[in-house]
Structure 1
Amino acid sequence: MSEATKKGLIPVLRFPEFRDAGMWKKTSLKKVFSIFQGYAFSSTDSTKEGVRWLKIADVGIQKMDASTPSYLPINYEDEYQRFLVKFGDYVIALTRPILSCELKIAKVDIIFDGALLNQRVGKLVTDQSLDFVYYLLQTGQLISNIENNIAGNDPPNLSSQQIGDILVRIPLQDEQQKIADCLSYIDELVTAQTQKIEALKAHKKGLMQQLFPAEGETIPKLRFPEFRDAGDWEAKKIGQVLIVNARSIKMDDEHDYSLVTVKRRYGGVVSRGVYKGGAIKVKSQFLLSANDFLISKRQIVHCACGIVPAEFEGSIVSNEYSVLRARKNHDIVFFNYFAQHPKVSQSFLECSIGIVIEKMLFKLNDWLNKEFLFPSFEEQQKIADCLSSIDDLVTAQTQKLATLKAHKKGLMQQLFPSVDLVTE
């Protein structure tokens, strides 16, 4: 590593045509860009349709969020023209702008093209490469410096004045654009990969709606050929499909135990860590086996249930959980998908008691007496295999996405000089 690299004067990785271009220029953020703040529109201005209203909730981490649309009167488009944003602009959240060490900054997409900028959202303004500045603001050390500069306010608010004196180094615009083009290409790959995953998830959701009977029906709309003449699905109580299988253990204070929990919204069984028996306060614990069906009694209203994977064989949970197994001629993988059906989700709430939802307690016996429709064991397996194959594809594509993001992160660490060394 050269002395210039060590001192943060040039990046570790540089495109060939710029290797003899000299040191990056030291400057302050206020000379690189400014933040144009939106207008304080009143909530009473809101309309059902008109010009899109770009609010702080619409700005995510490197992406816009169009899930909660808001609108202002169409005549505001002319009246507040200077607050309009266009496709390709970059906007940044100005209140609580940093989440998990990442800045809430995003490129205005086609949905928000021509939207009006609200007060706590800012637009980047620069005479440098706008795309380069966007990626500069994704570098970890700079984000850390920004976070330090806006600390002390509750909530933390961002403005050009607060961060303007932070020092950075930037290259000439040709090199800026080369870096931006490189990272933009990776972002396009990330977007395409994300869309592929979302398409697979949507396909799975659509399949599940057809592979299980609709309300008032006894057979599904979509059935595998070998089961089309198999007749109606059979009404059974949950207790005829699952059986409670709580394996109590006596803990040794010096023994290491793997603890697990189950995430909300069918998020799966995950580790809570490994602890000595003496450090575990709740002494009533149950041993888990692969393919157990685990239910969190206090979180099941949020659909906290799932199958114990093989990697957590021998882990333990407290008596705040219910541990069940599939009875003979019933497939636990099928049941895991079945449990995600809206009617089953509703049954979790119906079988829980309490006034405050976060403190509701699941009445397992009531739920075991709930009746639903089930197919034969063979059809259960076929459905489970079909949906599992899609989940395997989602997992594989998600791993590819993680690899792309890791590649981008590694590139950025090498394409930008170390910001924390820009002090001289």
Structure 2
Amino acid sequence: MFLKRLQQDGRFRVPDGWKISLLDDLAKRGTGHTPDKRFPEYYGGGIKWVSLKDSDKLDRRWISDTEDEISEAGIANSSAVLHPPGVVIVSRDAGVGKSAITTEPMAVSQHFVVWNCGPHLDNTFLYYWLQLTKKEFERVAVGSTIKTIGLPYFRKLDILQPPIPEQQKIAAILSTWDRAIELTEKLIAAKQKRKQALMQQLLTGKVRFKEFEGRSWKWVELGKLTKSVKRPISWDDEQLYKLASIRRHSKGMFFREPAYGHQIKVKKLFTIEQNDFLISNIQAAYGAMGLVPKKFHNTYISDQYTVLIAKNEDAFDISFLGFISETSWFRHQILLACNGFFAERLRLLFSASELLKRKVFVPPSIEEQRRIVEVLRTAVRELKYDQSRLKYLKEQKKGLMQQLLTGKVRVNVDANTVNG
């Protein structure tokens, strides 16, 4: 349907040796059902049942587990069907277009469409084709609250069909990229756990560097280590101001839309500098805080922020506070420093003066603080490198899918090569 329309419009040419086929001619289509929840005996019977609860398990090639199970009685007393392993499923409701291949017999809810591939369609190729078609699924989905695709749409769904050896080779190439992505995701998860463990050990003094042993850490009021600063600007209605803000949950800073002075209603801005410790007074309870990176040096914030700097840079490393702020303990201190509500948005209102009364546990020497900071920075750099590599792999895979699944780049089925 979609492909033939493009072909008729002259926007798409079918590659040599390929053809446009109706998906129903290549695979047996099915769906599923939700057994009556008034009967508990229909559930928990060991038959894995894919529902909208499993949305986060899709788009990862394989689905091996489900949140809920149903029973043989649930199958017998509903329109649910036990599908064989290896079928390809796609969500037609919330999370429209998300797909996966089952690794064992499973049933699905009515929110999914299932295809059991015949001899002329490789199931992994179909999975990648559905991934490529996701934007089209999102386009045709309708609904004000939950987007959905009606079942009649899938009766007319077409697919670009290469010969089966070429399908299998394309699927194998894309699977190689997916395996690299999966391994990188696991590496990132492991390094995130390692970073959390390092923070737990190093920021509490549970693990010390040998050269600093023998000198005890101390609880010190934050107000003795840091001070609040404001750097007001001279207002100019004709100046273009580069505005900054900070995300919740210690997720870093971002640039807001730049604005000229005459476009800004509240004519009160302040300058921030690299390594300031920035706290959103309105969103502090949600973890909107952190150090100002270099690229945000000399940008502007509103008066709804608190800026802390070290009172004495030779005695306290503000970056140490940056890492402390990521801990649940410090988030609790922030909550204790909130003493009211921001009326317009019903959010906890942060008080800098209250926070500065709270005590933090710190090493006695600036050298130990800096050593801890450097170890944690190294962990952060490694994480960022792997996250960048993951993003690159995903972009590469996206490009490969577009090229291989449309035949713009052809594969050599007899060798480990791709032909341009």
TM-score (norm 2): 0.82
More displaced 10-residue stretch of structure 1: 366-375 or 159-168: 159-168
- Give the secondary-structure state (helix, strand or coil) at the position aligned to 1:137: helix
| Contact 2:41-2:71 within 8 A present in 1 as well | no
Give the corresponding residue for 1:106: 100
Q: Which residue of 1 aligns with 2:52?
A: 56
Aligned to 1:17: none
| Deviation (angstroms), 1:323 | 1.4
2:355 pairs with 1:367: yes
Task: Give, in angstroms, the shift of residue 360 of structure 1.
Answer: 1.7
Q: Which residue of 1 aligns with 2:413?
A: none
- Tell me, in whole angstroms, the C-alpha distance in 2 between the residues paired with 1:46 and 1:200: 43
Residue 129 in 1 paired to residue 122 in 2? yes
Compared with structure 1, are the counterparts of its residues 117 and 48 closer, same or farther at alpha carbon in structure 2 (3 Å cutoff)?
closer
- Sort the Cα spacing of 1:203 and 1:108 in 2 relative to 1 into closer, same or farther, 3 A: farther
One-letter amino acid matched to 1:299 = Q
Pairing partner for 2:341 from 324, 345, 354: 354
Alignment partners' CA distance in 1, 2:84 and 2:211: 55
Shift of 1:152: 4.5
Summarize deviations over 1:51-107 as a string: whole Å, max 9, x none. 3553313223513999x9744466668868964467654433332234xxxx32234
Match in the other structure for 1:381: 370
The partner residue of 2:20 within 23, 26, 36 is 26
Q: How far apart, in 1, do the equivalents of 2:363 and 2:62 lie?
A: 40
Pick which of 277-286 and 152-161 moved more: 152-161
Q: Match for residue 318 of structure 2?
A: 332
Identity %: 26
The separation in 2 between residues aligned to 1:56 and 1:330, in whole angstroms, is 50
CA deviation map 1:26-70 (0-9, x unaligned):
23444455352343452773999763553313223513999x974
Q: Whole-Å Cα distance in 2 between the matches of residues 227 and 46 of structure 1?
A: 63
Does the 8 A contact of 2:43 with 2:74 survive in 1? no
Corresponding residue for 1:396?
385
Structure 1 gap segments, 5+ residues each: 12-21, 214-219, 420-424
The verdict on how the C-alpha distance between 1:227 and 1:53 changes in structure 2, with shifts beyond 3 A counting, is farther
Q: Which amino acid aligns with 2:321?
A: F
| Counterpart for residue 187 of structure 1 | 178
Find the aligned partners of 2:303 and 2:18 in 1 and give their Cα distance.
60
1:4-24 C-alpha deviation (Å, 9 max, x unpaired): 9x852346xxxxxxxxxx242
1:9 alignment counterpart: 13
Residue of structure 1 equivalent to 2:164: 173
Alpha carbons 1:54, 1:115 under 8 Å: kept: yes
Please, which of 289, 295, 302 is the counterpart of residue 311 of structure 1?
295
Verify: 1:298 aligned to 2:301, yes or no: no
Q: 2:223 aligns with which of 229, 235, 239?
A: 239
Q: 1:210 to 1:89 in 2, by over 3 A?
A: farther
- TM superposition shift of 1:383: 0.9
Q: Number of aligned pairs?
A: 389
Aligned-residue RMSD, C-alpha: 3.3
CA deviation after TM superposition for structure 1 residue 210, in Å: 1.5
- Kept after mapping to 2: 8 A contact 1:45/1:73: no
Given residue 369 of structure 1, which amino acid in structure 2 is its aligned partner? K
Q: In structure 2, what is the equivalent of residue 39 of structure 1?
A: 34
Farther-moved stretch of structure 1 (302-311 vs 204-213): 204-213
More relative contact order, 1 or 2 (CA 8 Å, 6+ apart): 1
